[in-house]
């Protein structure tokens, strides 16, 4: 059993305070949904956890089984067991998916051939076209293909915790089902998930243990899955903001 | 300037009468000419001011022995092969294609100088005065096959003038790779000129691999003309040299002529890699597409200046020019100056140029998957080169180009 613990996390971007003390703990196999209006700091939270250099941590701590993550470079956090599925996966012309994952496997001390095989298996599981494995990363992929790509990588890299930054955006119904079912299955073998989303529909397949409402850089309320239903009908008005 | 490059020395080289006379008049022009200077636009940012011709002597008439077996091992077995050493023909073998190779004989039916006019600049005159030309000809309608020309410069203090003229006859096809190589630690100069003549409906693919040693200077010209509906691909993978310059002039002379121009270059140490391009659209409905991409590590530097010129008759032409430079260290330097000169309004032209570090978002994407920073940057830079290395007709020499790329990556992103 592992634990990702976020305590009092504050962060700025370009001098502007976005996160104002976030507290959240995710354990292995759990799914925590983070919902909130635009501008609440949801994407910032995911980037700060993954170590994006544009964000400055101004307070708090993030630990994985007691190991400080904030002191690690982005790639070391990944090696420690963290994965970020991006809302808008970056196009990297000239770098192939399989090539990138082989480099990651070398850095993690994993068997490179086994990782390559796993990549092919995982692509097959969620209908990610095998020819994309040898094509430049995310280049000329549709929104849905990009999210399948993120999911294939998640399953291949086998992290302990995955942060999903609006993995449901830009997905059609079929892709949403394939992606969320695969991730749900991974939670059954111990993956912990922090799923940032605007919409409840992701959570129909990827069932949350906890739902957190992030508004104005803080978790304002936490509850069970029923909180997602409540937010869907009532919006974020009670938190002093309107959904936009 | 007192140098060994005298009219007497030029005229003493053996050859048919017309060639001897051609050399003599070129040497006389050179004697009267000033060397170019960095004041001239086409030499801006260059190291031409550091060129001291008095420290070099002309290559002797006969080439010294040189071992090129390992280089030729990667050439296709059925390729036409020419080896020059210090600019003199050292070896040649026929290929299975229709391309033939010749050195000048008494008949003056040579295409020499058909594209690059004599007296274009002082260094072309110098070249013409001392060159031993090699001509490769593909007959009309024929498949010329593969051609490999290896230019080796093993000798300290020598100035070499390799000259290659390739004529692809009407409707013919041919693929040519030139390799330029010299040992590290040997200070010498080469001024190669390559003329590419693409006949009507012909397809000529040409690539140069420049893997010169660390003290070699090279000031190269590639001059091309493309006839009606002809297709030219020409490009360079450039890794070596102390100062290595390539000026590539492409004239789209016949209606519907097309040119694809590529370069991939990597400067490290204190290298300066210098590229000048001219896309000259003379005829209507001509197209050209130029993509030059490079990386600069350590204190490496590069210059790119390019001009798309659309002549008054070139209506319906399309011309594109893109130069991208990745700066991998604070001390690296790149200058990029694209230009357009358009004298007909019924055309589409664009140019783009960038100089900057590895894209931080691309790097973060790879890092967030667990790829260490240096490895992530290497993958991205290697990827930048793929587009041009894949497009160049490098044949069996592509792995060699990639090895040089890997060495430069290792130096720049340890």
Q: Residue A241: what pLDDT? A: 58
Residue A108 within a domain? yes
Paired strand residues for B100 = B137
Which is nearest to B112 in space by CA: B31, B29, B196? B196
Q: How many CA atoms lie within 13 A of B402 on its CB side?
A: 14
Q: Which helix (H) or strand (E) holds B322?
A: strand B318-327
Cα angle value B397/B399/B405 (rounded, 5°)? 110
Give per-residue pLDDT as tens, A222-241. 999 999 999 888 888 888 65
Contact residues on chain A for B380, CB-CB shorter than 8 A: 92, 94-95
Q: Is B391 on the interface with A (CB under 8 A)?
A: no
Answer whether residue A243 shows pLDDT above 50: no
B238-285 per-position pLDDT tens digit: 999 999 999 999 999 999 999 999 999 999 999 999 999 999 999 999
Residues of chain B where predicted confidence (pLDDT) is lower than 50: none
**Rounded to whole angstroms, how far apart are CA atoms A116 and A84?**
20
Q: Does A152 touch chain B (CB under 8 A)?
A: no
Residues from chain B contacting residue A157 (CB–CB below 8 Å): 369-370
Q: How confident is the model at residue B1, as a pLDDT?
A: 58
- pLDDT of amino acid A244: 41
Q: Is A115 on the interface with B (CB under 8 A)?
A: no
Please tell me the predicted confidence (pLDDT) of residue A170: 84
Domain count for chain A, please give it.
1
Average pLDDT over residues A70-92: 97
pLDDT score for B196: 98
Q: What is the CATH number of the domain that holds A73?
A: 3.40.50.300
Best CA proximity match to A202, nearest among A233, A234, A154, A170: A170
Residue A242 pLDDT exceeds 50:
no
Site from B326, B359, B363, B368 to mutate, A interface, most A CB atoms within 10 angstroms:
B368
Domain ranges of chain B: 7-357
Contact assessment for residue B296 and residue B325, using Cβ atoms and an 8 Å cutoff: yes
Q: Is B372 on the interface with A (CB under 8 A)?
A: yes
Domain membership of residue A161 as a residue range = 3-239
Query: Is A152 a domain residue?
Result: yes
**What's residue A178's pLDDT?**
92
Instruction: Please judge whether A73 and B362 are an interchain contact, meaning their C-beta atoms are less than 8 angstroms apart.
Output: no
Q: What is the pLDDT of residues B200-211, one digit of tens each?
A: 999 999 999 999
Residue of A nearest to B362 (CA): A92
Listed range (A116-125, A175-184, A229-238, B179-188) with the worst mean pLDDT: A229-238
Domain presence at residue A244? no
Asked if A78's CB is within 8 angstroms of B367's CB, the reply is yes
A-chain CB neighbours of B366 within 8 Å are 75, 92, 95, 100, 103
Q: Is residue A84 part of a domain?
A: yes
| pLDDT category of residue A109 using cuts at 50, 70 and 90 | very high
pLDDT of A226 = 93
Contacts (Cβ under 8 Å, ≥6 apart) of B375 = A103, A106, A107, B366
How much of chain A, in percent, has pLDDT values that exceed 70? 98
Chain B: nearest CA to A139, how far in angstroms?
Answer: 12
């Amino acid at each position: 059993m592992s634990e990702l613990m976020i305590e009092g996390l504050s962060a700025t971007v370009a001098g502007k305070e976005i996160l104002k003390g976030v507290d959240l703990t995710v354990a292995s196999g759990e799914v925590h949904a983070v919902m909130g209006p635009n501008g609440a700091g949801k994407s910032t939270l995911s980037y700060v956890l993954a170590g994006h250099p544009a964000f400055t941590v101004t307070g708090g701590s993030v630990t994985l089984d007691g190991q400080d993550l904030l002191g690690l470079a982005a790639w070391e956090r990944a090696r420690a067991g963290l994965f970020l599925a991006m809302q808008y996966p970056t196009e990297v012309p000239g770098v192939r998916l399989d090539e990138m994952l082989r480099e990651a496997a070398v850095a993690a001390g994993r068997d490179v051939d086994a990782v390559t095989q796993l990549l092919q298996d995982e692509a097959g599981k969620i209908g990610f076209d095998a020819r994309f494995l040898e094509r430049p990363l995310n280049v000329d992929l549709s929104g849905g293909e990009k999210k399948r790509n993120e999911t294939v990588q998640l399953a291949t890299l086998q992290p302990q915790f995955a942060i999903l930054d609006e993995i449901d955006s830009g997905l059609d119904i079929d892709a949403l089902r394939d992606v969320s079912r695969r991730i749900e299955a991974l939670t059954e073998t111990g993956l912990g998930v922090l799923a940032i989303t605007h919409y409840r529909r992701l959570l129909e397949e990827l069932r949350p243990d906890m739902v957190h409402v992030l508004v104005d850089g803080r978790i304002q309320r936490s509850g069970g899955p029923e909180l997602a239903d409540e937010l869907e009908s009532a919006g974020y008005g009670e938190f002093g903001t309107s959904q936009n | 300037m007192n140098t060994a490059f005298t009219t007497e020395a030029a005229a003493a080289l053996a050859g048919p009468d017309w060639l001897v006379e051609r050399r003599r008049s070129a040497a006389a022009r050179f004697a009267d000419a000033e060397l170019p200077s960095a004041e001239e636009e086409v030499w801006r940012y260059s190291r031409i001011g550091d060129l001291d011709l008095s420290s070099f002597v002309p290559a002797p008439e006969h080439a010294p022995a040189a071992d090129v077996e390992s280089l030729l091992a990667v050439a296709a077995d059925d390729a036409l092969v020419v080896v020059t050493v210090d600019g003199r023909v050292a070896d040649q073998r026929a290929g299975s294609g229709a391309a033939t190779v010749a050195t000048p004989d008494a008949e003056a039916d040579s295409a020499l100088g058909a594209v690059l006019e004599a007296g274009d600049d002082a260094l072309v005159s110098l070249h013409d005065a001392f060159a031993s030309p090699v001509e490769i000809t593909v007959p009309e309608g024929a498949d010329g096959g593969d051609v490999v020309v290896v230019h080796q410069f093993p000798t300290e203090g020598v100035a070499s003038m390799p000259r290659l003229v390739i004529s692809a006859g009407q409707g013919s096809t041919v693929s040519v790779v030139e390799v330029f190589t010299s040992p590290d630690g040997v200070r010498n100069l080469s001024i190669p000129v390559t003329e590419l003549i693409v006949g009507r409906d012909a397809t000529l693919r040409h690539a140069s691999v420049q893997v010169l040693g660390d003290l070699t200077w090279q000031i190269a010209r590639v001059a091309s003309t493309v006839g009606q509906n002809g297709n030219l691909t020409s490009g360079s993978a450039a890794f070596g040299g102390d100062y290595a310059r390539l000026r590539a002039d492409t004239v789209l002379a016949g209606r519907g002529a097309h040119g694809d121009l590529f370069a991939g270059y990597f400067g490290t140490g204190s290298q300066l890699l210098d590229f000048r391009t001219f896309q000259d659209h003379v005829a209507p409905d001509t197209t050209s597409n130029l993509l030059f991409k490079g990386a600069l590590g350590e204190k490496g530097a590069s210059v790119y200046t390019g001009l798309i010129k659309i002549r008054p008759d070139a209506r319906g032409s399309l011309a594109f020019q893109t130069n991208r430079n990745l700066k991998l260290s604070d001390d690296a330097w790149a200058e990029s100056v694209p230009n357009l000169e358009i004298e007909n309004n019924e055309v589409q032209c664009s140019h783009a140029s960038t100089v900057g570090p590895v894209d931080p978002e691309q790097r973060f994407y790879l890092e967030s998957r667990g790829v260490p920073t240096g490895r992530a940057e290497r993958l991205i830079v290697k990827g930048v080169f793929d587009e041009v290395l894949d497009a160049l007709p490098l044949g069996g020499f592509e792995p060699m180009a990639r090895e040089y790329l890997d060495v430069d990556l290792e130096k720049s992103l340890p």
